[in-house]
Structure 1
Amino acid sequence: MCYAFAKAYHELNSSLAAEAIALRDGIPMCCRMGVSEVLVEIDYLQLLKIVTRQLDFPWDLSCILQDIAAMMGKIKTEINHTP
Structure 2
Amino acid sequence: MKQGKTKYLSYIEETPKHYSELRDLAKIAASKAVTSAKAHNLPVTFVEDGWIVREDATGNQIKVSKIDKLPRKTRPGAKFRLP
Q: TM-score, normalised by structure 2?
A: 0.32
Report the structure, 1 or 2, having the larger helix content: 1
**Higher relative contact order structure (alpha carbons within 8 Å, sequence separation ≥ 6):** 1
Query: In terms of Rg, which structure is larger?
Result: 2
Report the structure, 1 or 2, having the larger strand content: 2
Q: TM-score, normalised by structure 1?
A: 0.32
